[in-house]
Amino acid sequence: ETGVTQSPTHLIKTRGQQVTLRCSSQSGHNTVSWYQQALGQGPQFIFQYYREEENGRGNFPPRFSGLQFPNYSSELNVNALELDDSALYLCASSLGGGQGETQYFGPGTRLLVL
């Protein structure tokens, strides 16, 4: 186990709703990255938070937003849910935000949008 936890494990929402997913990073890690993994595909980078600031962002619309708290846990918020948002959402924590820092993944939150 990596020590990275995510909640909830599963979630069902309807189109247009909003969702908040949570991630607790491994002890001592100050960086959290979020990924979206569609069925049968590799994870796609959403954004990264380093010491409570967004440190980089992938090709996702503004309705995907996040937060990082002083204890380095993090939230991913998605507004105006669309059917294509159905996916496994993964968070990964690392010791820093730099290249070469190993990212350790949590078990993910499976989101289904109906």
Partner 1 sequence: GESVGLHLPTLSVQEGDNSIINCAYSNSASDYFIWYKQESGKGPQFIIDIRSNMDKRQGQRVTVLLNKTVKHLSLQIAATQPGDSAVYFCAETTDSWGKLQFGAGTQVVVTP
* Footprint on this chain of partner 1 (rule: CB under 8 A): 2, 4, 31, 33, 35, 40-45, 48, 50, 55-56, 58, 90, 92, 94, 97-108
Q: Which is nearer to partner 1, 33 or 68 (CB)?
A: 33
Residue 44 CB, nearest approach to partner 1 (Å): 8
Residue 85 CB, nearest approach to partner 1 (Å): 18
Structure letter (DSSP) for residue 1: -
User: What does 24-53 look like in DSSP terms, one character per residue?
Assistant: EPPTT--EEEEEEE-TTS--EEEEEEETTE
Q: Which is nearer to partner 1, 14 or 41 (CB)?
A: 41
Q: Which is nearer to partner 1, 67 or 95 (CB)?
A: 95
**Measured CA angle at 90 (ends 109, 65), to 5 deg:** 90
> Would you say 89 and 76 are in contact if contact means Cβ atoms under 8 Å apart?
yes
Q: Which is nearer to partner 1, 66 or 106 (CB)?
A: 106
Residue 83 CB, nearest approach to partner 1 (Å): 21
Quote the tokens at residue 57. 């962002």
Q: Taking the CB of residue 27, how many other CB atoms lie within 10 A of it? A: 9
64 forms bridges with which residues in the sheet?
78
Residue 16 CB, nearest approach to partner 1 (Å): 28
